[in-house]
A = this chain, B = another copy of it.
């Protein structure tokens, strides 16, 4: 059984408010990572049709601050699937609602594993690649995986 990439594509979004701020008045990096982890989890559950756990999160850079009052949107899609693991690519965007401008702020790669009822890794559906972009993401994830071994 296989599923297309679009079937599990996930978008979470939230408005940043006072509890999300650090002492500089910008949003905590840890707050963004929490949304990234949640979006990757929903995306992986949609693909696997099973509970999942986070196994790793690749290096994330925070080059652009995010401000209170901005809308943070987190987009996750499956890049690659192994037997029971999935690499989820997550893009983070921040939108200034007054000016209507939106900027890309982070890219994250999250590895998740599907679990059966006893908490053991469980086979996930294959990934049906339909566009050159999706094939490129698959190859890059596969290369990363091999270089880590």
Binding site for B on A (CB under 8 A): 10-15, 17-19, 21-24, 26, 28-31, 33-38, 41-42, 45-46, 49-51, 53-63, 65, 68-69, 71, 97-100, 115, 119
Q: Which residues of B have CB within 8 Å of A31?
A: 34
* 19 extra interface residue pairs, beta carbon distance < 8 Å, beyond A29-B53, A53-B62: A14-B38, A15-B41, A18-B19, A19-B19, A24-B53, A26-B53, A28-B38, A28-B41, A29-B57, A30-B37, A30-B38, A33-B57, A34-B34, A42-B71, A42-B97, A54-B62, A55-B61, A56-B61, A57-B59
Distance A97 CA – B63 CA, assembled complex (angstroms):
24
Q: Are B62 and A38 in contact (CB under 8 A)?
A: no
Distance A13 CA – B71 CA, assembled complex (angstroms):
12
Q: Are B55 and A62 in contact (CB under 8 A)?
A: yes
Q: Which residues of B have CB within 8 Å of A29?
A: 37, 53-54, 57
Question: Least Cβ distance of A135 to chain B in Å?
Answer: 24
Q: Are B18 and A49 in contact (CB under 8 A)?
A: no
Given contacts A14-B12, A15-B42, A24-B115, contact A53 B33 (CB under 8 A): no
